[in-house]
Structure 1
């Protein structure tokens, strides 16, 4: 994005509420990598997956043993798995395509946040931030749990597992943590305001960024491209740091810096490496009201910073550019905001209210009719049109069509695939799950009976159709004119030319009653026409029951 030539009032950010989604009481949301599916955790323990293109429910994941509220949902890199953490201290890893559980783990304390390892297409390892406990690295299939250090001591190893009295208090129920882009490092922020860079394989602190003010860090988020890190502190300031490490092989870069600083002490070395790893880029706050922030984050391309208000009863969203200017202020319904997510590709923001509804914020596009034709002119009000004298005159062709300047002999490359900058790290050999197939639901038998009954009532009200033909058309009946009886069409399963079986439909009680009445009721034969009879043919006179020849039939018979 070229910021100098873009009007900040016309940027690529949402402006109005486009739509809202409702399904139970939803608590947390997360987009998949492409933004085609939206996962929402509900208060009843289910995880609903919305098709974001059609705004319909694609699948619902429900564990019969879990009825506690979902606290967080996390997608795997290619969308094949979803991790859901619930308030009853359980983690469930789902297979999205089949809807089956891959693994389940029980914890000692309730997890407030859980994130899947981004370095694998089908991960079973995750980063969990429980309440009043240090962050954990959990291998769900193997069942191993590793606690990460949340502070640096003056000891030789530089590790210390935090105690509740020193690290946790009422204002910080958990220590926020997140993976970097490729998952080889974990960044966490503690109650002292420090940012620690941890090697989660060895559970060792590799870098320390000293606190700016000493405020408690409540949220920590990486941008999608891995270039910026965001923290939300208790001093009501959102801070953005620029990541100086390479997005790939960041651990290797830390090893190289560690070798060059062997002459320093352990803590001094960590601070020196931290100063080269993260650099404070910008601070964002509401200098007027000084409100707390509930959920901060980045846009999909990392150009915008977003913050959701944590004030009770307010649904306010602030949007800044990376230069620190407030470019948009969004105010929603009179319901508290509890979660927020920016679409990975489009300028769309999705927020969750306290009542459990999802609001979709989108850009307010204005119609530009001049885009259809260059000479099209939009009028603010009606104007009288004055026709030119030669406007509709037939003019001879004065100019020939210019030859195309394109090189006709140049070969066009249709094989090379250009990488999308948004998904430049995609593995083309890995199949990505972007959409879920829709499964049609057949109508219940009760609904079929109701539809047949409604059709009978409609036909009875229509006087232009005879009752017999209407019932025969609706109920699948056929009349045998020779015997005068009504016979039902055989609906038993039979093979047709395509090799499929016909569906057998069970008639309702009204249909059976109508069939019985029609069988008892005699059917009046149609009178033959005079032209169709020969002179020697016999017909029955209905008045006296005598059989007479055609010559003896009076003209009144055919009237």
Structure 2
């Protein structure tokens, strides 16, 4: 679309479904960093790559025997990572033209994998969380090939009988990749230095209960948590000490709380807009497909709720650069939400008049009749007569 025709007063959050895709038993979907492709993970263990220009599946990643629990893209969209309840994390190389795509690496863990993700700057470093509550940092570089378990350090003087920690339920890199944030079932947030794998921060979130999900604003200075008390909380993150300088232990106070005051619904997913000024929350209501939108720039005010029907929402993800959201429904529908942009033809052409609906124009009888000049016609007749006489 010509940007000169787009009104500057457009809404910056999605308002309607633009199109939909269908993938049998889809469980989650995620845009790649360019926004051109969408990766889809399914309950039967197969992942698909959809092209947003053609709306067709262009790659099929068939490597798991149980349902896919997470999907992530590398920084330049060359690699796709899938994790599954079959205890495996597979890294796929999409740069090769062979079909099916080749596996770049397979990581075998000791329990079903709840989630996995790439390091934001290095696609050969993978963070994985198992269903038994352990977090592993896997280095796939040939010179390292190591796996480290991230553990909360034991308190000084604490015996082994009382040193059992709460299970880890969430694990994410921050956008810079310098720190790893881990949420626990007791409502704590643990922060580790990625390079040294040493814990540098521990935060208590009062009243939150077990942590279910993390989301970062693009700047990395804001953290959003989803917890078992059905409330989304946004925090401004502090500056963490360097390794060896101690552990920052504070109680984080949220700058905003987001929830549904009427139904008190839980949340299956959440995602920031690219500029961090909007927040989308996917409702866990089993009888509806609802996406709640809040305006962060306006003190976190609730703006609207997008309704996608009665097929419950499983996952959502905001486009990396546009006002667009992809959401996944229970029975395989994948909705692409957008914000329709009205075109300003009046500004493009000064004499252009905009109308609300089509107007049928009645042509006059002689409006488009072609009238030849008499002088030109006389000249042509004279020339024809002269040539005939000569």
* TM > 0.5 fold call: yes
* Equivalent residue runs for 1:53-452 within 5 Å: 53-63=53-63, 66-98=64-96, 99-120=101-122, 123-140=123-140, 144-149=146-151, 151=152, 153-155=154-156, 163=164, 167-168=166-167, 175-245=169-239, 254-255=241-242, 259=245, 270-271=248-249, 274=250, 280-322=254-296, 323-380=299-356
8 Å Cα contact 2:265/2:283 also seen in 1 = yes
Q: 1:46 to 1:17 in 2, by over 3 A?
A: same
Tell me, in whole angstroms, the C-alpha distance in 1 between the residues paired with 2:80 and 2:333: 21
- 1:410-430 per-residue CA deviation (whole Å, 9 max, x = no partner) reads xxxxxxxxxxxxxxxxxxxxx
Provide the residue aligned with 1:463 in structure 2.
none
Report deviation, 1:32.
Answer: 1.5
Q: Secondary structure at the match of 2:248?
A: helix
Q: Secondary structure at the match of 2:242?
A: helix
Partner Cα distance (2:161, 2:38) in 1 = 38
Q: Is the 8 A contact 2:11 2:339 kept in 1?
A: no
CA gap of 1:380–1:214, structure 2 versus 1, over 3 A, is closer
The offset of 1:143, in angstroms, is 5.1
Show structure 2 runs of 5+ residues with no match. 1-7, 362-390
RMSD in angstroms over aligned alpha carbons? 2.9
Q: 8 Å contact 2:177–2:194 — kept in the other structure?
A: no
Evaluate the alpha carbon distance shift between residue 23 and residue 293 of structure 1 in structure 2; reply closer, same or farther with a 3 A threshold: closer
Shift of 1:383: 12
The DSSP-based 3-state class of the residue aligned with 1:176 is strand
In 1, are the aligned partners of 2:121 and 2:177 still within 8 Å (CA)?
yes
* Separation (CA, whole Å) in 2 of partners of 1:39 and 1:380: 39
Q: Which whole-Å deviations, capped at 9, do the CAs of 1:390-426 have from their partners, x for residues lacking one? A: xxxxxxxxxxxxxxxxxxxxxxxxxxxxxxxxxxxxx
User: How far apart in 2 are the matches of 1:60 and 1:97?
Assistant: 14
TM-score by length of 2: 0.80
Deviation at 1:104, TM superposition (A): 0.7
CA contact (8 A) 2:30 2:326 kept: no
Following superposition, the deviation at residue 40 of structure 1 comes to 1.0
Distance 1:53 1:305 in 2: 26
Rounded to whole Å, the distance in 1 between the matches of 2:135 and 2:214 is: 13
Q: Structure 2: how far apart are the matches of 1:153 and 1:371?
A: 67
State the alpha-carbon separation in 1 of the partners of residues 336 and 163 from structure 2: 40
In the alignment, the residues of structure 2 paired with residue 243 and residue 16 of structure 1 have an alpha-carbon distance, to the nearest angstrom, of: 33
Deviation of 1:234 after TM superposition, in Å, equals 1.2
CA distance in 2 between counterparts of 1:279 and 1:352 reads: 32
Distance 1:215 1:254, change over 3 A: same
Post-superposition offset of 1:380: 4.8
CA 1:156–1:140 in 2, change beyond 3 Å: closer, same or farther? Answer: farther
CA separation in 2, counterparts of 1:80 and 1:167? Answer: 36
Asked whether the equivalents of residues 22 and 356 of structure 1 are also in contact (C-alpha less than 8 Å), the reply is yes
Question: How many Å separate the matches in 2 of 1:155 and 1:223?
Answer: 35
State the alpha-carbon separation in 2 of the partners of residues 282 and 186 from structure 1.
23
In terms of fraction of residues, the more strand-rich structure is: 2
CA distance in 2, matches of 1:244, 1:160: 33
* CA distance in structure 2 between the aligned counterparts of 1:143 and 1:336, rounded to whole angstroms: 41
Contact 1:317 1:329 in 2 (8 A): yes
SS in 1 for 2:241: helix
Greater percentage in helix = 1
1:179 and 1:366 map into 2 onto residues whose CA distance is 38
Q: Which has the higher contact order (CA 8 A, sep 6+)?
A: 2
Q: d(CA) in 1 for partners of 2:118 and 2:55? A: 25
Partner Cα distance (1:285, 1:209) in 2: 22
Deviation at 1:148, TM superposition (A): 1.3
